[in-house]
Amino acid sequence: MDDTQTLMNGFMRMAVDNAALSGNLLIEIDETNLVPGQDLSVYPGKVFRRQEGAPGQAIFGTKFPNVSNENMQMFDKARVLSDESTGFPSFAHGQTGVQVWDVLLLALVCLCLLLTALSVM
C-alpha cells in the first residue's frame, strides 16, 4: 500500500503542478527592443513602447501543454493497484462513485486557498 500511495501522491502532485503551469502564461521580454525604463508588469490594456530599429516582436508568450488528464489516468491506475494490493476495493470502504476530477478539483481548491493564505502573509 505504501508504494501505491506514494505513486498516487506523486501523480496527483504532477497533475496539480501541471494545471498551475498550463493555466498561466509565461512571458519573455526582449528589452533591447523596448524604450528603457518602462514598467514591465503586465495587465489588460498594457502598452509597451518600442524603440526604433529592426522590426520584430519584443514580447513573447509561452504556454505549457496541459497533461493533467494523463496524470489523473495514472493516478486512477495507481488507485486500482492500491485496491488490489490491500484486498479492499474502493467500494468496500465507502468510496463508491469516486470521480478522478472531483479529487483534482479538491486539490486545486486546496492549492488556491494555500496560495491566497501565503499572499496575505
pLDDT tens digits, one per residue of 50-70: 887 666 778 888 888 888 888
What is the model's pLDDT at position 118? 75
Amino acid at position 114, single letter: L
Contact 69, 18 (CB under 8 A): no
Has residue 114 got a pLDDT over 80?
Answer: no
N-term to C-term CA, the chain: 37
Domain ranges of the chain: 2-120
Backbone φ and ψ of 68, nearest 5°: -60, -35
Has residue 107 got a pLDDT over 80?
Answer: no
Amino acid at position 10, single letter: G
CB atoms within 10 A of CB 52: 6
